[in-house]
Structure 1
Amino acid sequence: MSVEEIDTLVIGAGQSGIAMSEHLSAMGVPHIVLERKRIAERWRSERWDSLVANGPAWHDRFPGLAFDDVDPDVFPPKERMARYFEDYAAKIAAPVRTGVAVTRVSRCENRPGFIVTTSDGMIEAKRVVAATGPFQVPHYPDIVPSTAGIRQWHSSAYKNPAQLGDGAVLVVGGGASGSQIAEELRAAGKTVYLSIGEHYRPPRTYRNRDYVWWLGVLGKWDEIKITPKKKHVAFAVSGYDGGKTIDFRRLAHAGITVLGLTKSYEDGVLRIADDLAHNVAAGDAAYFDVLREADAYIERNGLDLPAEPEAWDLLADPECMTQPILALDLAQAGVKSIVWATGFRFDFSWLAVDAFDAQGQPFHKRGISAESGIYFLGLPDLTNRASSFIYGCWHDAKYIADHIAIQRNYVAYENRLAMSPGDR
C-alpha cells in the first residue's frame, strides 16, 4: 500500500484549521488539511437553528477578510459563519480535503514523523496539528436516568422549540447556550426552567462599545490585568436577539423559572443546590467590575463616550430568587424535556502519542506539545482567554506556524551537514 508523504498535516477544517493553513502557506510549509465532514461542520449541523456568533461581525473574523453582507455591529448567524470559513479557505487556496476522517496518529519507528491512518488511506507527516477545537464530544452529567421517561438532549443536538414536543422544559447551563435556548423556548410559549451554576456575566455593551472591545482595551483578552478565573465557569455573554446582556432577573421576569445548580435525581425529583442567590450575586459583581473599569478607562483616556447610568440599575429580585426551588418534581412541574447546555469534553483517543499529562489533558505550552512534532490549536486558554475564539485562534496559529518553520530550518541545517562538502 502506498503512503502519501507531507511535511505538516492539519486535522480539522474549522476556524483553527483554516487559520493554520493560512500561516503555513505564508511560511512556505507544504501541508494538507483533513476534515471528516465539511468545512466548519460544527457551525452547520451541531448547533441550534437560531445560533449567532458571540461577537459582532467587525470582531469575529480573521484579519484578511471582512463580511461583505453583514453590518459590522451585527452578530452573524451560524450559516453565514460557516460560509465565511468556506470563503476564507477558497481565498487562501487552503489544501482542504473534506470527507476524510482521521482514526489514528502514531510516531514512526526509527525515523522522524508520524503515521496517520485515515478513511482515505495512510499519510506520513513530519508534523501534525490537532486543530479539532474545544467542542469535540458533548458532555453532560449522568443525573437523570434514561428510564425516567424524560426526553434529553445535549445543546449540540437541540435545533428549535418544535423539536421538543409538548410539556415544560428544563434547560441546564447558565452560559451563552443555556440562556439563549431558554429564552428562545420561552418566546415560543414553552414553560421553561433554567438551572444555572457559577458564571461570569459581563455587559453585552456599555457606553456605546461592545464587550469584545472592552475585553481588548482593558487587557482581558490577554489576561494581563485580571484576577485568575476559575476553570469551567460559564461565560454568560451572547449575541442572541441582537445582542442583549444576559440578565437572569430579566429572564425570570419574562416567565422563566431560574434555579440553582442541578445536583441529583431520585424518584422523579431533582435536587437543586441552594446557591442561586450566591451565583447571581457573583455574576453581578463581575458585571459591575467591568462597568467600573470601563468608566476609569474612559476618564483616563479622555474619551467622549455617552454616559449610561441605567446600566447600573438592577431589576428587582423575582420570586424564584427570593424563594428558590430546592426540589423540582418533574412530573408535577410538567417537565417532559431536558436540554443540557453543559459543554463539551476533549476526545484525543485517536492521537496515540506522548502529548498528554497524567489526567489525559493535552500537555503543551502555547500549543507546542510535549511530543516533538505534535501541536494543539483552538483549545481554551491555549495562550490566553482569546484562544478558543475566532480572532484568537488566528494569532495562535501564527505562533505555531512560526515554530514549525523554525523546526524545518533545524532539519535543513542537519541535512546540509550530512551532505558531502562538495554538494553543500
Structure 2
Amino acid sequence: MADYNTIVVGGGQAGLAASYYLQQHDVDHLVLEKHQLAHTWRTQRWDTFCLVTPNWQCALPGHPYPGTDPHGFMKKDEIIAYLDSFIAAVKPPVREGVAVQRLARRAGGGFELNTGAGDFSATQVIVASGGYHTPIIPRLAERLPASITQLHSEQYRNPGALPEGAVLVVGSGQSGAQIAEDLHLAGRAVHLAVGDAPRCARFYRGKDVVDWLAEMGYYDIDVGAHPLREGVRDNTNHYVTGRDGGRDIDLRRFALDGMKLYGRLQGLEGGTLRFASNLSASLDAADAVYNRINASIDRYIAEQGLDAPAPSLYQPVWQPIGDRAQLDITEAGISTVIWCIGFTPDFSWVDLPVFNGKGYPGHVRGVTAEPGLYFLGLPWLHTWGSGRFSGVARDAQYLVEHLLRSRP
C-alpha cells in the first residue's frame, strides 16, 4: 500500500491550489484525479462558454491572470489555457485516471483510500472534488417521448449539435439562462421554464457590478457573517453573462424577442407539459434582487462621496399576460429538452461520519470534526469565492497551514 503524508482527492483548481501550498511547505503528497486535471473545465462547458466574473478575479496561487484584458471575460479555450499554465507551474505529483472508491479510517490511525488502481494510505486527506457531482434529471424525464433528445446542461455544446426543432430549456440559473440565450441567438425556437434564480446587472454606475461588490468588501464576508449563515450555500447563483464583453441577461427581453417563457415545470400528462403559475412572481423576484444589489451600490457611492453616473431603477420591459400553464410537445415542435436544474453532491465514497442530513460535509472553513480530514473548493466553504478562481487560494493556504499545525 502506497503511503503518503497527505493525499488530495480531485485535480481541479482546488486540488491544484492545495498541491501548490503543500509543495511550498515540502509536504509529501499525491493528487488523485478521477479523469484528467481540470477535467470539468475541459469537458462540461459549452462552446461559447465564458467567465461571468471579470478576468482579474482569476487569482490562483502564484498565478494571477496573465493577459491584457483584466476587465474582460475569458472564453472556454482561454480558461483551459490559463489552467494548463497553472498546472505547468505547479507540476503536481498526480495520478490521473484514478477514482477513489472508498475513503475510511485506517486501523492504527490515518486514512485508507481504496481505488481501482490499488490502495493508498495517508495521514491526512484533502477532499477537493467539488460539490457538483450528480446531474439532476427529474423522473418526469423517463416519460417523455423517446423521440425527444434529452441533455443535461453539462452535455450541451452548441445549437448545431442538436436536432432540428424547438428546444425546451428547464431552469433559469446561470447555465439555463446562458444556454437559452445561446440557442436564441442562433435562431432556434426556445421555450424556457423559469425557476427562482436571481439576477444582477453586469455594469452599473460606470463599472462592473463585480468591481463594486469587491470594493464594498462583499467577497470578503465569511459564511458565518452572512445574513443567511450556512443557508447561503443553498442559494442559486445570479444569472448574468460575460459574453461579447459582458451584459445583463433579461428574460423579459428574450420574451419580447420571441422566446416563450413559462413557470416552473410541474408535470407531464400524455404529450402535454404542465407548468406552475409562478412566472410573473419569479421574474419580479429576480428583478427585485437586481434592483436591491444596485441600491446597495447607490448607498456605498453616497456614503463614500464618490463621483459616478446617476443611479437608475430597472423597469420591466415585458409582462406576461397570464401564465402559460401547458405546452403540447408535438404542436410546439419540441425536439430537445435541456435540463439545467443543477447537480447534487455525492460523497458516498467518504465512509466517515462528517455529513449532515443533506449529504453535505460538516466543517468550519473546510476543517471537519475528523482529525486530518479536510474539504476544499466547495461553494461558500468560507466566502463567496471559495469554489471559484478568486477565493480558492486563500482557502487552500488556510487548510494547509492548519494541516501543518495539526499533523502528528
Report the TM range for the smaller structure's normalisation: over 0.9
Q: Does 1:138 align with 2:132?
A: no
- Decide whether aligned partners of structure 1 residues 396 and 66 sit closer, same or farther in structure 2, where only a CA change above 3 A counts: closer
Among 253, 268, 274, the alignment partner of 1:250 is: 253
1:33-65 CA distance string (max 9 Å, x none): 121222211111112111111211111332522
1:280-316 CA distance string (max 9 Å, x none): 111111111111111121122222333354xx24242
Instruction: After TM superposition, give the deviation of residue 70 of structure 1 in Å.
Output: 5.1
Counterpart-to-counterpart distance in 1, 2:275 and 2:215? 39
Q: Which 10-residue stretch deviates more, 115-124 or 45-54?
A: 115-124
8 A Cα contact 2:291 2:314, kept in partner: no
Counterpart-to-counterpart distance in 2, 1:67 and 1:167? 40
Instruction: After TM superposition, give the deviation of residue 146 of structure 1 in Å.
Output: 4.8
1:350-381 CA distance string (max 9 Å, x none): 22222222443212221112322211111122
Q: Name the SS of the counterpart of 2:19 in structure 1.
A: helix
Counterpart-to-counterpart distance in 2, 1:69 and 1:25? 26
Q: What letter is aligned with 2:318?
A: D
Q: Does 1:148 align with 2:145?
A: yes
Calculate the TM-score normalised by the size of structure 1. Answer: 0.89
1:69-84 maps to which residues of 2 (within 5 A)? 69=67, 71-84=69-82
Q: Name the SS of the counterpart of 2:112 in structure 1.
A: strand
Q: Does 1:157 align with 2:160?
A: no
Equivalent position of 1:57 in the other structure:
55
1:266-415 maps to which residues of 2 (within 5 A)? 266-307=269-310, 309=312, 312-318=313-319, 321-408=320-407, 411=408
8 A Cα contact 1:70 1:76, kept in partner: no
Instruction: After TM superposition, give the deviation of residue 173 of structure 1 in Å.
Output: 1.1
Q: Which 10-residue stretch deviates more, 140-149 or 385-394?
A: 140-149
Counterpart-to-counterpart distance in 1, 2:67 and 2:363? 39
Q: What letter is aligned with 1:316?
A: V
1:159-174 maps to which residues of 2 (within 5 A)? 159-174=157-172
Counterpart-to-counterpart distance in 2, 1:69 and 1:183? 27
8 A Cα contact 1:169 1:337, kept in partner: yes
Q: Identity of counterpart residues, as a percentage?
A: 38
Counterpart-to-counterpart distance in 1, 2:271 and 2:265? 13
Counterpart-to-counterpart distance in 1, 2:197 and 2:357? 28
Q: Name the SS of the counterpart of 2:57 in structure 1.
A: coil
Among 260, 263, 267, the alignment partner of 1:260 is: 263
8 A Cα contact 2:170 2:339, kept in partner: yes
1:111-157 CA distance string (max 9 Å, x none): 11111123332211011111011221211222232552321100001
Equivalent position of 1:239 in the other structure:
242
- Decide whether aligned partners of structure 1 residues 254 and 223 sit closer, same or farther in structure 2, where only a CA change above 3 A counts: farther
Q: Name the SS of the counterpart of 2:396 in structure 1.
A: helix
8 A Cα contact 2:4 2:122, kept in partner: yes
8 A Cα contact 1:355 1:374, kept in partner: no
Counterpart-to-counterpart distance in 2, 1:226 and 1:364? 16
Q: What letter is aligned with 2:138?
A: P
Counterpart-to-counterpart distance in 1, 2:47 and 2:258? 23
8 A Cα contact 1:356 1:370, kept in partner: no
Equivalent position of 2:122 in the other structure:
125
Q: What letter is aligned with 2:164?
A: D
Counterpart-to-counterpart distance in 1, 2:318 and 2:122? 58
Instruction: After TM superposition, give the deviation of residue 75 of structure 1 in Å.
Output: 0.8
Q: What letter is aligned with 2:213?
A: L
Counterpart-to-counterpart distance in 2, 1:181 and 1:191? 13
Q: Which 10-residue stretch deviates more, 356-365 or 190-199?
A: 356-365
Equivalent position of 1:416 in the other structure:
none
Counterpart-to-counterpart distance in 2, 1:98 and 1:87? 18
Counterpart-to-counterpart distance in 1, 2:235 and 2:139? 17
Counterpart-to-counterpart distance in 2, 1:20 and 1:71? 27
Instruction: After TM superposition, give the deviation of residue 163 of structure 1 in Å.
Output: 1.6
Q: Name the SS of the counterpart of 2:387 in structure 1.
A: coil
1:230-267 CA distance string (max 9 Å, x none): 63434212223321112111111222111111111111
8 A Cα contact 1:171 1:340, kept in partner: yes
Structure 1 stretches lacking a partner, 5+ long: 412-424
Q: Name the SS of the counterpart of 1:202 in structure 2.
A: coil
Among 38, 45, 48, the alignment partner of 2:46 is: 48
Counterpart-to-counterpart distance in 2, 1:124 and 1:146? 45
Counterpart-to-counterpart distance in 2, 1:353 and 1:86? 33
Calculate the TM-score normalised by the size of structure 2. Answer: 0.93
Counterpart-to-counterpart distance in 1, 2:338 and 2:332? 16
Equivalent residues, number: 402
Computing the radius of gyration over CA atoms, which structure comes out larger, 1 or 2?
A: 1
8 A Cα contact 1:37 1:98, kept in partner: yes
Q: Which 10-residue stretch deviates more, 232-241 or 4-13?
A: 232-241
Counterpart-to-counterpart distance in 2, 1:304 and 1:62? 32
Among 95, 102, 113, the alignment partner of 2:110 is: 113
1:314-337 CA distance string (max 9 Å, x none): 24224xx22320111111111111
RMSD: 2.0
Counterpart-to-counterpart distance in 2, 1:371 and 1:266? 48
